[in-house]
A and B are shown apart, each in its own frame.
Chain A
Amino acid sequence: MRKIILFLLVIITMLPFLSYGQGKVITGTVRDAGGILPGATVTEKGVAGNGSITDSKGKFRLVLKGSSNILIVKFVGYSTIEYHIGNKSEDIDITLASNNQGLDEIVVIGYGKTTRITSTGSVSTVSAADIRTVPTANVQNALAGKLPGFFSQQSSGQPGKDASDFFIRGVSSLNANGNKPLIIVDDIEYTYDQLQQINVNEIETISILKDASTTAIYGIKGANGVLVVTTRRGKSGKPQVNLRTESGLQSPTKTPRFLDAYQSALLINQAQANDGVPQEFTQSDLDLFKSGNDPYGHPNVDWYNKIFSKFTYQVNTNLDISGGTGQLKYFISGGALVQNGLLRDFPDPRGQVDNGYNFNRYNFRSNLDLKANKNLDLRLDVTTRFSGLNSPNESAASALSEIYDFTKQTPFTAPFLNPDGSYAYAYSRFNSAHLPTLNARIATGGYQNSKRTDYNVLFNITQRLSFITEGLSVTGRVAYASTEQFTRGTGNYDQIPSYHYDPVSKTTTKNPTGGYVFPSQYYSGNINIYTTNVNTQLFANYDRSFRKSHVTGLVLLTQSAQTFDANPFLDPNLVGVPAKFRGISIKGGYDYAGKYLVDINAAYNGTDRFAANHRYGWFPAIGVGYNISKEKFFHDALPVFGLVKIRGSYGLVGSDVAPGNKYIYAQNYVKGGGYNFGTSFTGIDTYYEGALSNANVVWEKQREMDLGLDINMLKDNSLSLTIDYFHNIRYDQLITPNNIPEVLGVDLPAINLGRTQNQGFDGQIGYHSHIGNVQFGTNLVFSYAKNKVLFMSEASPSYPWLARTGQPINQPFGYHSLGYYTTADVAAINAYQSTHGSNAGNKAIAVPDNGEVIQPGDLKYQDLNGDGFINIFDQRAIGKPNLPNTTLGLNLQASYKGFSISVLFQGSFNYSFIVKGTGIEPFQSQFQPIHQQAWTSANAGNAQFPRLTTSSSSINSPSFFPSDYWLINAKYVRLKTVDIGYQFPSKMLPWHLNNARLYLSAYNLFTWNNYNKYQQDPEITSNTAGDAYINQRVVNVGLQLGF
């Protein structure tokens, strides 16, 4: 470190020495954040034609001819920079910042590439180099805030299970599984699950395809948008080795705080006093809790801190080698990731198993390109990933949910260990199961370990047919992907021994639910993932320029067969039955001088999910673009614009995800349980009618319209803007009708009925410039997508506010809070009831109709139908769906010589959630600071929480009475990623190193949100306790070496 500082000082002191030199020979290296950059163009400013291209080691050599003493360095996908040479001439290090808004930026789309200037569709791209240093195991976690139109939610931070859910342009389908984007890696379909196993180091680019023009080629699978990943490939040149190793500290983004024994006991007494039942704790109990003088009779244990540590570490190492000769190019990489969990180490006294949370993953990839002869290319990509996911036996103890769960244990329930070292158990009336303490159950409850292997092979053969016509080629491709996972778990057959220690008599008593010795253990294991996917493709490609015209064309035949293990959405009988897909796609593009652009895409494809005569459909789309900045009049009038392109697309795409039974078209009779009849009560096989079939079932369809504007302006196109407006109608959605009476007497199938609208806009504004050698850039990414249910075959509700139609998908419904019942309210209710017999018809003040008696301080809700009762008929739309409809990302970066900094703020807005159950409800949740703000007659004016009560079904329960009192209209902003790096100057590099970069990176560093009722992370799934494994903040140090 001292060396670095020294070096820094040296550089700074050298700054003023500027000199001019003609004929000076300049040598140096061009890099980006990820390493050296072969193929970058280096030219001298002011001297046309004096330039050089960096070699395979990123090096260049240039003889200066002019007097500007400035180099212009360009590379596709990066901001062009002007480098002030100063008085240096050797070992100049130039670092380029990536910029996805460049004119020639290559944009990966389905089965091909285009550029920002010629694209008619709506595509967002991020270069993997930009996200490679984000310290997360999952590529989708690193994309939040980076891509316009990308919406994500990370609901767990557990090692190995922390991948975000993501959606492109929000959600459109009422069919819960029908919103997942198609994931395409090197033109082959992946599952969500497989994507999260990919090592970011292997990735070249990530694009999301958002409109019909770009997704129509996927036809029946394209309606949810497509995430396209390409992997890195070798480039001609000497072998280049890159080694990147990093290790980080993980800690929770938000640590829940619970009250101690004394404070909890006070609140328990308070609740019992409210309910008019005897109080649990005497004053002497309270004193002992407070003083801590009786640690065994009156324990006070901070379970969270006893169970979880504050930090844990993760390590990630990657090594890759790439290069190539004339015939063979290669990219070969290996990676290892180890993520540990926050659980403290509670060794099994039997010393047998690892019962912590941890995850490790090993990735290997070999991408080979062989040029067999002038016209024939072969390609073989082999990838495999091995991973191991370990956790305590979750059925015995799910650590975080039990920390919250008041009914399992409390701060005053038991000591951490008894004085003799034996395990204690929950010795309290509130813990009716009298379980051994959590540390005891984690230590002895067994474990679960999943071993997973992913295999992928892709073989590709391309024959150029230039002898027929220039630009024509034909490609055949076979890809196979499979995943296997086996889980082994162990657990106790019976409760482990635990004891209660009585400090008065100094005796221990055995827990009656357990024995004296550790019980025997059971084993549970099964193959819980087994998927295969075979995909074959044959396509002809045409790409040729004639003077000013440029023509592209593609005809693609593809088919695939996928088999799945049991997954919760599939009829278990369908395990191993292949799901087949087949189709033909065509694509044609024409542009005239890069000015007038037309793209036509269409797919004719189908799956065997549907009946033979309803299997295939056409999915056409057209995209047009007009590059007005290429018109002479425009350029003359407004030379400040480098690019002004308006574009639009319109088309039809589909989604073949059918809920439940895959074969909806076929009527099915179910073999029922063997019912027992007769004197001897013998089992007899039975049959009953399964859900009705729907012979006409077809895919969901989406009409997509997209209007876009691309602008680059100012000098060097330093300011760029892309904005898209979209309007989609998803129709023929597969939903179970809600308006067919039960008199029918049988389950209904999904029918093509639902219809929703989704519209919004997304885009980005980037500005990249430099002041001297200080380069800086900023990029603002914004996405907004708002959907609305147009038709969901809803039964006509008795009151208009109950209607779901017209609301967004997954709109929460609940009661509207009017504050708290006052003493006067309760008196008025009693008066009304004594004259009328019940509260029926009391228009002034309503009460719940579930028999719970109202007291002052209970939550008062609006009685929408005025019948005197609060019940389901008074629920109306409250808040917003759980998935944010607005996300923003603001990326700021700057670099000076070898130093670089990049920060990303990411925010999500316009969403709602409710925490319930063990997350917040007294006597289900541990007592939390908010409970101290509960309503009492003394603080009625500024209560932050309703009256505490021991009743679980009172009107104060968000589980029974969801309401806008409990609902948070949430927003948050995160300092999502930070990357501070230092690129060592070439001349400092020893041995054969050509690149060395030291960096500090962080993930989820700070979070700002707008609520204080709950302690949960803002990316919580609504209507849960929010007790999933807490999302992690990671601070990471890494070193990257190239040679």
Chain B
Amino acid sequence: MKNHITKILLITLAGTALICGCRKSETFPVDKVTDYFVFNPLDSAGDAAHGYLYQIYAIVKNGHNRVAGDYLDAASDDAVSSKSGTVQVRLMATNGVNSFTFPSGENFWEETVATGIPANSGTPSSYWAGIRAANTFITHIGAVPVKGQSPTGVPMRYVWQSEARFLRAYFYFELVKRYGGVPLLGDKVFALNDNVALPRSSFADCIKYIVNECDAIKDSLLSYPLVTPDADNYRPTKGAAMALKARALLFAASPLFNGGNIDAANPLTGYTDFQADRWTAAAKATQDVMNLNTYKLDNDYKDIFLTQNNSERIWIRPGSITTSVEGTNGPVGFAVGGTGNTSPTQELVNSFPMQNGLPITDPASGYNSSDPYATFTTPKRDPRLTANIFYNGSMWLNTTVQTFEGGQSKPNTNIQQTFTGYYMRKFMGLSENSTTLVQHSTDWVVFRYAEILLSFAEARNEEEGSPQDDVYKQLRDIRGRAGIDPGADNNYGLKPNMSKEEMREVIRNEWRTEFAFEEHRFFDIRRWKIAETVMNRPLTGISIIKIGSTLTYNPITVLNTAFVKKQYLYPIPYNEVAKNPNMKQNPGW
């Protein structure tokens, strides 16, 4: 029996050793990063926390070919996509979307194409993710003892915190201009069990929130001139906060929201009344930026997009140093590449005046329809036409661009080519006379000083009974920089003593020409409520027949657009309305 007991003991011991003997190794993967690491109370350099802030910056979109390979303005009356098949911007321009299929490239709410009902699609790059990340940062950064302070004496962690607040305000504004009022979350970082089925805040409250945030943070941000512009040029500054406020107030004062609410009594889709002093507020906000005396117009229009840290830039989303804009949008048929994604419309081309500042429809302008781009004749066209658009006869890579039927850049073969007879030129490097493409920065200029001037002009024109000289002055400055001749009266082709309505048209046209492809036109035709007109007529291009050396210009229709009233605002994503009983859909969707 004793023998047996020993055996039992042995077996039990062996078994116990088997079960308990192995050492525990890596019960939790040590390569995982926890929040303690990110917001570390011992990290005076704040490296990981700063990395968190960088991720929020990264959510800001770079607009180059942003919407599934197209510029957003290819969904406006300025351009069409050259691509075939299902194209997001074309679906948007032809009313081919619904609350479920709304294109991912413009779905900043979900930032993805929902693949089914129901769907859960959260990604770290939607604007709601940005707002959450900013809130997390704002809440936690106080615990990180970051050393250093700004030149104005603000401790660095509060500079960073203000930058996060700026980004949050910017994300809200990008949502509000698309959807109207959205839920305002405050500083709260929602946890898994919190109730997130929040109702939308009113449009008025959203604008108020954005404006208040800009006011609150502007003095704790860095300000121009930056001490180290090479390292910090992407950071929002005091000027950026004020520019965001100005843009928000300009949108708020615009007809779509101020008196022209598409659902008159609905506080979510705009103000339920008209108040003229909203224009006053917008004018004041722009005036404040001008009063900073920090910014001035770049002398060279093309240079704004190429030279970093130039005086006109207020805030940018940095882009790499490449030739990607040329590769994606440059005219086809060149050995260095160019797939010509963007086909500017005849409507955009026609909006550029002559160099004397007179619109081409003015009989006195000297416009010659048999040489529409004034390649061979004078007066020339507004130099911004050449800077924005490749037309037949433009210079590119030391060659003349041929967009006549069968020409080098419109070969009419199977390859993708322009639909309209034009290619986009803007944002590209100065490769007119070289044989190779020049690499350059592809920063996306979010705010630039010309916008402040034009916003000021627009708001002042609406504010007053008739346009005052301060309206004219901004237009003269912008046109002068663009290369329009001052003319004998030094009025850059502007008709003196215009009525408010005449001036409004001039300003709107100036927006169109000056800011082509910069994601202004798409929203401008909405906030002015003219999309139902301009997007309900066919967009056109030009078919150029070359016989010998004679060019014949035949207008052609390239896209039959469609716009119904509901499109003034985007639909709240279908799944969001389904998930949240408090989420009111926009009218018509």
Contact = CB atoms under 8 A, between A and B. Distances in A.
A742 B122 contact: yes
Contact of B22 (A467, A561, A741, A794): A561
Interface in B6-35: 7-8, 11, 14-16, 18-19, 22, 25-29, 31-35
Interface stretch (B66-74, B129-137, B202-210, B549-557): B129-137
B369 interface: no
Interface stretch (A677-685, A770-778, A930-938): A677-685
Contacts of A746: 122, 124, 129, 132
Interface in A679-703: 679-681, 684-689, 691-694
B57 A474 contact: no
A798 interface: yes
Contacts of B123: 747
Nearest to B53: A686
Most buried by A among B120, B183, B562, B583: B120
A804 B28 CA distance: 36
A737 B120 contact: yes
A740 B128 CA distance: 13
Nearest to B20: A559
Interface stretch (B215-223, B231-239, B486-494): B231-239
Contacts of A794: 118
A987 interface: no
B579 A686 contact: no
The DSSP consensus for interface residues of chain A is loop
A465 B4 contact: yes
Given A689-B133, A742-B110, A795-B578, A678 B230 contact: yes
Contacts of A679: 229-231, 233, 308-309, 441
A666 B28 contact: yes
Interface stretch (A289-297, A571-579, A592-600, A645-653): A571-579
Interface in B540-589: 562, 564, 573-581, 583
B15 A538 contact: yes
Contacts of B183: 743
A749 B192 contact: yes
Interface string A880-897: 000000000000000000
Given A668-B32, A670-B33, A675 B122 contact: no
Contacts of B38: 669, 687
Interface in A811-862: 813, 838, 849-851
Contact of A677 (B57, B110, B576): B57
Given A668-B34, A742-B110, A689 B441 contact: no
B151 interface: no
Nearest to A662: B29
A838 B562 contact: yes
Contacts of B576: 741-743
B138 to A, nearest CB: 13
Contact of A557 (B19, B117, B414, B583): B19
A192 B119 CA distance: 30
Contacts of A743: 128, 183, 185, 190, 196, 198, 576, 580
A751 B191 CA distance: 13
Interface residues of A, number: 82
A689 B35 CA distance: 9
Given A740-B579, A748-B122, A536 B34 contact: no
A463 B31 CA distance: 45
Contacts of A672: 51, 55, 58, 124
Nearest to A539: B15
Contacts of B32: 573, 663, 666, 668
Contacts of B35: 667, 669
B325 to A, nearest CB: 15
Contact of B51 (A578, A687, A742): A687
A676 B122 contact: no
Interface in A340-376: none
B465 interface: no
A675 B578 CA distance: 35
Interface in A413-437: 429, 432
Nearest to A557: B19
Which residue of B22, B122, B575 has the most chain A CB atoms within 10 A of its CB atom? B122
Interface in B76-128: 85-86, 90-91, 94-96, 98, 100-101, 109-110, 116-124, 126, 128
A824 B25 CA distance: 74
B48 interface: yes
Contacts of A875: 117
B528 interface: no
B176 to A, nearest CB: 14
A559 B17 CA distance: 12
A669 B40 CA distance: 13
Of the listed residues B15, B34, B183, B583, the one surrounded by the most CB atoms of chain A closer than 10 A to its CB is B15
A608 B31 CA distance: 17
A941 interface: no
B364 interface: no
Nearest to B27: A608
A467 B1 contact: yes
A517 interface: no
Interface in A299-321: none
A744 interface: yes
Nearest to B581: A796
B18 A476 contact: yes
A738 interface: yes
A676 B443 CA distance: 11
Contacts of B51: 671-672, 684-687
Contact of B86 (A474, A678, A850): A850
A678 B231 contact: yes
Interface string A930-967: 00000000000000000000001100000000000000
A749 B51 CA distance: 24
Interface in A723-751: 736-749, 751
Contacts of B126: 742, 745
A465 B48 CA distance: 62
Interface in B297-321: 308-309, 318, 320-321
A872 interface: yes
B83 to A, nearest CB: 13
A465 B198 CA distance: 68
A675 B98 CA distance: 34
Contacts of A1005: none
B511 interface: no
Contact of B321 (A681, A736, A952): A681
Contacts of B116: 813
B318 A677 contact: yes
B232 A678 contact: yes
Contacts of B579: 738-742, 795-796
A802 interface: yes
A577 B122 contact: no
A478 interface: yes
A467 B8 CA distance: 11
A871 interface: yes
A715 to B, nearest CB: 49
Nearest to B121: A742
Nearest to B197: A741
A873 interface: yes
Contacts of A474: 8, 11, 15
B274 interface: no
A741 B583 contact: yes
Given A463-B7, A669-B35, A953-B86, A689 B119 contact: no
The 3 closest A-B pairs by CB, nearest first: A745-B132, A538-B15, A795-B578
Given A478-B18, A741-B576, 15 more contacts: A432-B414, A461-B11, A465-B4, A476-B18, A670-B33, A672-B51, A679-B233, A679-B309, A679-B441, A685-B51, A686-B54, A686-B55, A742-B121, A813-B117, A850-B96
22 contacts: A474-B11, A474-B15, A557-B15, A577-B26, A580-B27, A669-B38, A671-B51, A675-B58, A681-B318, A686-B51, A687-B51, A688-B124, A694-B192, A742-B109, A743-B576, A746-B132, A747-B124, A795-B118, A796-B579, A813-B117, A850-B101, A871-B98
